Chain A
């Protein structure tokens, strides 16, 4: 059974700080690891990391996949209050015939950025 564990469960930082979120996983036939940001409602997609794309960066957010350690980190630099959200990590196995993709999500990390 696929499994995803995120740490820490929550953290509080001040604007300008850097945060690092962790995601470790167990998945049969790994295809990708996905990061999402969830504010008040629906999760929104941030990054996808694969065996051929282990680093992604967008503005102040960046993520790295460590295939050997079966883990990933999400970094947010120069945090702003708008970064306050739950950050979700999910893993996806490789293609299964006649089946929709089945994402396994971690429990999320709640980040609160104070002014």
Chain B
């Protein structure tokens, strides 16, 4: 099993450009999450999904959209990137709603110029 994978690993964008981050898991998990991590601020939840076809807002959803068309994939979109979105993005999945069951992906480093 590959676990949780994220694509791409690193990306540089110009302000106003759009992009999609892909998260894939092969563990048949129902729950999936997108977090961002900024220095000294820990991880903050952007959006999450409790099952295929569902999405919900987390703590910091503004400027992001998500889709969960397939159970194994969770996409995070930036329609018009801003420098404030420079961050490291982590995807996670879990088989239950409890935190200790979350598995994290390796992260995507995004730099918006």
Contact = CB atoms under 8 A, between A and B. Distances in A.
Given A41-B106, A42-B104, A42-B106, A95 B42 contact: no
Nearest to A106: B42
B92 to A, nearest CB: 8
B2 interface: no
Interface stretch (A14-22, A69-77, A96-104): A96-104
Contacts of A6: 42
A65 interface: no
B56 A100 contact: yes
Nearest to A95: B97
Given A4-B42, A42-B106, A42-B107, A103 B99 contact: yes
Contacts of A105: 42-44
A103 B45 contact: yes
B100 A98 contact: no
A22 B97 CA distance: 26
Interface in A58-108: 88, 90, 92, 95, 98-108
Contact of B98 (A42, A88, A92, A104): A92
B102 interface: yes
Q: How large is the interface on A (under 10, 10 to 19, 20 to 34, 35 or more residues)?
A: 20 to 34
A100 B40 contact: no
A99 B42 contact: no
Interface in B50-71: 50, 56, 58-59
Contact of A101 (B49, B59, B98): B98
- Give 7 nearest A-B pairs by CB, closest first: A105-B42, A42-B104, A92-B99, A105-B43, A48-B100, A41-B106, A101-B97
Interface of B: 4, 31, 33, 40-45, 48-50, 56, 58-59, 90, 94, 97-100, 102, 104-107
7 contacts: A34-B99, A42-B104, A44-B104, A45-B102, A100-B48, A101-B94, A103-B45
